[in-house]
């Protein structure tokens, strides 16, 4: 095995793919996460003792310092889509990355990779996007040679995007969308992890890389494509942003009254973010600069969305039998 890499958030959706890749490259991997007892599955990504989950709270200096002790490289992929309790955008996405970079610099860590998001903008009306920009600036203050990755919406077997809408379409005749015409450039989670691996190993020039897949689609087109894959006919209903803001306000009140037991279906920040296209800039470095040819959605989505079909895994057999009868 080569050196030690600490991956903050290494058991999350993107983090586990980065963890697996770093282990396959022979690194010892320390997975820093809030609930290590729920992250024991990462141990199976390497040989005995190669991958170890450890307790870490990125809001705390001592916790972050302990997790990076002895590390040659640190990777941060901690993020939250909605604020909850003390895990605010400011604490997790602005202060957290800067804390990791500051302590990594003090400890003499050689390289840092930070996962941000397309749309990171200090002037955004969205607190999510502002905190992402603040986190990037904080990282570069202490680790100016860091690599910052900004992926578009991630898809993959455990994603919270296509799985969520496919689950909704199983029961609802209507799929409502705020920002139906907003464009996305979905990127496969393992392609984003591949970019992080290349950067962590020092094979990428410092700077910001915007990561998008080969196809650009509107939100409506993505859901229509998903419905075709799961063989369900549903009405895709575009909602005005005003309705989205109203839904967010009502959802916030319901969430507060239920003490968090009922989660808001959409937040005011998400409505604000949906006003802007989530696609890579023509000026930014990207997958091509890393030598990665990103995968198309059509080649991956059927592999994990089949379970939302009316007959699940058996639908293909039924369709095949129907074709035989016609002959």
pLDDT tens series, the chain, 327 aa: 579 999 999 999 999 999 999 999 999 999 999 999 999 999 999 999 999 999 999 999 999 999 999 999 999 999 998 888 899 999 999 999 999 999 999 999 999 999 999 999 999 999 999 999 999 999 999 999 999 999 999 999 999 999 999 999 999 999 999 999 999 999 999 999 999 999 999 999 999 999 999 999 999 999 999 999 999 999 999 999 999 999 999 999 998 898 878 888 899 999 999 999 999 998 899 999 999 999 999 999 999 999 999 977 666 666 666 666 655
Burial environment of residue 91 by CB neighbours within 10 A (0 to 12, 13 to 18, 19 or more): middle
Residue that is written with structure tokens 């894959």 in the block:
229
Residue 50 backbone class (left: φ over 0; alpha: ψ -120 to 50; beta: rest): alpha
Q: Is the separation of the CB atoms in 5 and 32 below 8 Å?
A: no
Q: Check the CA dihedral 240-242-244-250 and report its sign.
A: negative
155 vs 187: CA distance, rounded Å: 6
Quote the pTM value: 0.92
Residue 313 carries which DSSP code? G
| Distance between CA atoms of residues 115 and 14, nearest Å | 9
Exposure of 326 by Cβ count < 10 A (0-12 exposed, 13-18 middle, 19+ buried)?
A: exposed
Count of other CB atoms within 10 angstroms of residue 157: 13
């Amino acid at each position: 095995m080569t050196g030690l890499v600490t991956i903050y958030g290494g058991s999350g959706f993107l983090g586990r793919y980065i963890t697996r890749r770093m282990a396959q490259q022979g690194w010892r991997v320390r997975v820093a996460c809030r609930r290590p007892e729920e992250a024991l599955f990462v141990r199976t990504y390497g040989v005995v003792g190669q991958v170890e989950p450890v307790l870490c709270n990125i809001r705390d200096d001592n916790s972050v310092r302990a997790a990076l002790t002895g590390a040659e490289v640190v990777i941060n992929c901690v993020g939250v889509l909605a604020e909850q309790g003390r895990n605010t955008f400011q604490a997790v996405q602005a202060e957290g990355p800067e804390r990791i970079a500051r302590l990594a610099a003090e400890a003499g860590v050689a390289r840092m990779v930070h996962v941000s998001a397309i749309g990171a903008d200090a002037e955004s009306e969205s607190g999510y996007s502002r905190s992402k920009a603040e986190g990037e600036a904080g990282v570069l203050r202490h680790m100016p040679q860091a690599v910052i990755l900004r992926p578009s919406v991630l898809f993959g077997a455990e994603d919270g995007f296509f799985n969520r809408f496919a689950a909704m379409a199983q029961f609802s005749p209507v799929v409502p969308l705020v920002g139906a015409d907003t464009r996305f450039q979905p990127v496969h989670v393992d392609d984003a992890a591949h970019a992080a691996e290349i950067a962590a190993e020092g094979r990428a020039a410092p700077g910001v890389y915007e990561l998008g897949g080969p196809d650009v689609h509107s939100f409506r087109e993505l859901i229509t494509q998903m419905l075709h894959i799961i063989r369900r006919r549903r009405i895709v209903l575009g909602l005005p942003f005003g309705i989205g803001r109203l839904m967010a306000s009502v959802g916030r009140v319901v969430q507060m009254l239920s003490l968090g037991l009922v989660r808001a279906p959409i937040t005011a920040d998400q409505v604000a973010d949906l006003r802007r296209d989530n696609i890579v800039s023509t000026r930014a470095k990207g997958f091509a600069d890393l030598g990665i040819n990103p995968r198309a959605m059509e080649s991956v989505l059927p592999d994990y969305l089949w379970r939302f079909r009316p007959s699940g895994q058996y639908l293909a057999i039924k369709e095949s039998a129907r074709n035989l009868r016609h002959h």
